[in-house]
Amino acid sequence: MPYCANCGAHHEDSAEFCPGCGSQVSGHPQSAGATRYGGFWIRAAAILIDAILLSIVIVIVGALAGLSTAARAPLGFVVEWVYFAGLESSSLQATLGKKALGLRVTDVAGNRISFGRASARYFAKILSALTIFVGYIMAGFTDRKRALHDMIAGTLVERA
């Protein structure tokens, strides 16, 4: 089993990225740049689509449940978490906004992520926001277009 030249972790022969540190495995047949990543602007557009959809759902569900506007905030938090983590860990590997724009969420080796990892990614977005959104902006400047929450959760956003 080969090992990563960067961190020494073992990886599968077919791995494109090291499962330990996420660096690209040299000599991989796709290491010539076949994978395209979702950068800042396309991801921002996907978030806008998701925000509109979620807002509509939360308003409708909140109204049907007879909740006040203030009481809809906790409902919105739970609905948003389940929406993002559930869809990104599903066979779609994307929220509806990401899917509409041809994006998918994977681990650093290009595999589907678990609900737990998708949840960690969702909650790590709080840190991306607390940095005055620099955590999100990082997706425009880092290798493989990774935002802070992607780095924390060990995920990538690829163009499908």
φ and ψ of 92, to 5 deg: -70, -35
Question: What confidence tens digit (pLDDT) does each residue in 90-133 have?
Answer: 999 999 999 999 999 999 999 999 999 999 999 999 999 999 99
Task: Taking residues 131-159, report their average pLDDT.
Answer: 96
Contacts of 17 (CB under 8 A, 6+ apart): 23, 24, 25, 108, 109, 110
Question: 16 to each of 19, 39, 101, 118, 157, how far by Cα in Å?
Answer: 9, 19, 24, 21, 15
**pLDDT value at 82 more than 50:** yes
Taking all residues of the chain, what is their mean pLDDT, rounded to a whole number? 90
Extents of the domains making up the chain: 1-34, 40-159
Residue 19 has pLDDT above 80, yes or no: no
Helix (H, G, I), strand (E, B) or coil at 104: strand
The dihedral through the CA atoms of 106, 150, 157, 96 has a sign that is positive
Q: What is the mean pLDDT of residues 137-150?
A: 95
Q: What is the value of pTM for the model shown?
A: 0.79
Question: What local confidence, expressed as pLDDT, does residue 14 receive?
Answer: 76
DSSP designation for 79: H
Q: In which residue are the tokens 């998701």 written?
A: 50
